[in-house]
Structure 1
Amino acid sequence: MKKMFGVLASLSLAACGGPEIETVSFKDGLPSQEMAKLEVPTESTQRIHQGLAHVEQTLRGDVSRTWLVTGGTVLSVNGVTLWTLGSLNFVAGFEPTSDDGTTAVWGPHTNEWEGTTWKLTAVRTAPNAFRYTLEAKARGAADSEYAAVITGSHTVAVDENGKAIKGYGEGRFDIDYDKAARLPHQDSKKGRVSFHYNRPNPTAAVTVDVDLAEFVNDASVPDTAAYRYSQVPGGEGSFEFAVDSNIHWFDPTRIALERWSIKSRWTATGAGRADVRATGGDLASPVTMNECWDTNFRSTFMDGNVASQLRWGSESTDCAIIGASYSTR
């Protein structure tokens, strides 16, 4: 049945005069680390880490604390991305053990320093589209102990002539922490992280969506978070994320979780703003905070709806982006 549909699709393209899509190799059909990496304007990673250590001291003219939180969160998400796609590309760096044109298998390969054996299987679903599974087991364990740690799909972008655009495409991948926790030298957390990325071509906006639900230690309720990223190459961008967290951690009588979110937007120069909101939990009404920064990421404007909050600047003159926009996550 699948072959019949494939023949019909080919005949349809030929009849319409559409281009024949180039057949992409298995190795080029896996997403690179850059495919789902988040890029935000900043001077250095070191500066973000240093700033986060003193974020509570932010005043007008200091490095924006909401920008520091945004940059720190981006670094955290990128860490997961680099580990995941790095693992895929490490295994795919070897020659495939088998490749019949439809299915390719790499491995098994053993990382001696981790005590883990990996195996990667990729299945072609179209000339430029693939499904893949990265399985792992403890070194020396039976093959029945293989666990699908990472599963995903990837479609390589093509141009108007049907030729592959190297380094661009769309796809998703999931990390199963329940299965990863069974491997040597891995964290004990459980749950799942799902990534969806779209990098169509060198000039189009890049989008990356991440949804997380993980159990840490013996927690009965998962930590949940949602991240949404969009960036026009060399232009404006946005990053928003939302987590469930108790903002009254200092008060043992108020233990409910609030939904805490931040949406940061920036211009091509790097100047921008962040709008923060907390809702639900033990809050009688939403709490908001708004901050703008200049091209050096220095705080130029601060406002909010809490009476005791520090305020400075004027939105009309000190903000590159006018008007609050809160995350809907």
Structure 2
Amino acid sequence: MKKMIGALASLTLAACGPQIETVSFKDGMPSQEMAKLDVPEKTSQRIDDGVATVRQQGRGDLSGTWLVTGGTVLFVNGVTLWTLGSLNFVAGFEPASDNGTTAVWGPHTNDWERTTWKLTAVRTAPNAFTYTLEAKPKGSADSEYAAIITGSHTVAVDEDGKAIKGYGEGRFDIDYDKAARLPSQDSKRGRVSFHYARPNPTAAVTVDVDLKEFVNDATVPNTAAYRYSQVPGGEGAFEFATDSNIHWFDPTKVALERWTIKSRWLATGAGRADVRATGGDLASPVTLNECWDTNFRSTFLDGSASWQERWGVESSDCAFTGASYSTR
């Protein structure tokens, strides 16, 4: 009987699995690399986010759809780096209080800023946290605090329950409407939501970004969706969708069309993009398809419009055969 009880106890412990390591609050904040998008790039060819309009001249020129993909990735990375940089800057100080379950950094005010910041993190598991970054005008009452960034993060652990530094999964939201009430803020408005996952060094990385009624320099709110996936050292994909007027030059056609682009690439950099516009004032969908080589030079171009210029042979000039449009 004693042997049986001992065996059952051993089985119970085994079923519970290894004990998960308790992660510190500081290490429980997502790093900038956690939600960063990476795309292939030649050291001699930088993708410039200043490319606002793509003008395709001919076969062998730098791929226009690749420039659009790269410019969009740079925009998303800019928002990500600012957000996670702010979190890690505040978390870099010693917390004002830490009872093991909740840690609070701040209030903190830089000498050169007119804003006071406060970061609160709550432990929900040994390796999981929720956090809120609040801010208020310097010298104002505590009732003026507004939640600028809210999120959650789970640190990845290995089979022994040990934390894998730099990997995990989580999400965070930025409320630019609240940030706009603070001193010396830019023109951004709306909300941006991120969901990211980097489980371990060999697993695929995924980053999803949603813009809701987002306004930057333009006056018209923009709602858009971005989806990114990348196998370390292997294939990757990036797709995004937004509403925009394809007939901006025609005052009689003001409806917004749904634009989507899905780009896929190999580890070598060679890839393909499939673009589609639907709805609005379009009687039928408009498509464009382009492939590029390892130097990001256009090798294949096709599309549904009658005026569309075409070149290349898909079967021999594309890293991926067959169109794959975004469903966003």
Q: TM-score range by the shorter chain?
A: over 0.9
Q: Indicate if the aligned counterparts of 1:300 and 1:312 stay in contact, CA closer than 8 A.
A: yes
- What percent identity do the matched residue pairs reach? 82
Q: How far, CA to CA, are the matches of 1:107 and 1:25 in structure 2?
A: 17
Q: How far, CA to CA, are the matches of 2:119 and 2:49 in structure 1?
A: 39
Change (3 A) 1:261 1:312: same
Q: How far, CA to CA, are the matches of 1:218 and 1:82 in structure 2?
A: 19
| Alignment deviations for residues 105-154 of structure 1 (CA, whole Å, 9 cap, x no partner) | 00111133331110000000000000000000111111110000000000
Following superposition, the deviation at residue 187 of structure 1 comes to 2.5
Partner residue of 2:13?
14
Matched, 1:73 2:54: no
Following superposition, the deviation at residue 51 of structure 1 comes to 7.9
Partner residue of 1:6?
none
Q: Indicate if the aligned counterparts of 1:58 and 1:64 stay in contact, CA closer than 8 A.
A: no
Q: Indicate if the aligned counterparts of 1:153 and 1:171 stay in contact, CA closer than 8 A.
A: yes
> Once superposed, which parts of structure 1, at least 4 consecutive aligned residues long, lie more than 4 Å away?
217-221
Following superposition, the deviation at residue 326 of structure 1 comes to 0.2
Change (3 A) 1:221 1:65: closer
Q: Indicate if the aligned counterparts of 2:271 and 2:319 stay in contact, CA closer than 8 A.
A: yes
The SS at the match of 1:47 is coil
Partner residue of 2:159?
160
Q: How far, CA to CA, are the matches of 2:182 and 2:151 in structure 1?
A: 20
Cα root mean square deviation, aligned: 2.1
- Give the AA of the match of 1:148: A
The SS at the match of 1:55 is coil
Q: Indicate if the aligned counterparts of 1:13 and 1:19 stay in contact, CA closer than 8 A.
A: no
Q: How does 1:129-168 map to 2 (within 5 A)?
A: 129-168=128-167
Q: How does 1:1-329 map to 2 (within 5 A)?
A: 14=13, 16-43=15-42, 47-49=46-48, 52=51, 55-216=54-215, 222-329=221-328
Change (3 A) 1:193 1:305: same
Following superposition, the deviation at residue 213 of structure 1 comes to 1.1
The SS at the match of 1:209 is strand
Q: Indicate if the aligned counterparts of 2:137 and 2:182 stay in contact, CA closer than 8 A.
A: yes
Q: Indicate if the aligned counterparts of 1:301 and 1:318 stay in contact, CA closer than 8 A.
A: yes
- Give the AA of the match of 1:204: A
Following superposition, the deviation at residue 96 of structure 1 comes to 0.5
- Give the AA of the match of 1:277: R
Change (3 A) 1:299 1:218: closer
- Give the AA of the match of 1:138: P
Q: How far, CA to CA, are the matches of 1:294 and 1:44 in structure 2?
A: 15
What TM-score, normalized to structure 2?
Answer: 0.93
Q: How far, CA to CA, are the matches of 1:217 and 1:41 in structure 2?
A: 27
How many residue pairs align between the two structures?
Answer: 319
| Alignment deviations for residues 241-267 of structure 1 (CA, whole Å, 9 cap, x no partner) | 000000111111101000001000001
Q: How far, CA to CA, are the matches of 1:154 and 1:59 in structure 2?
A: 46
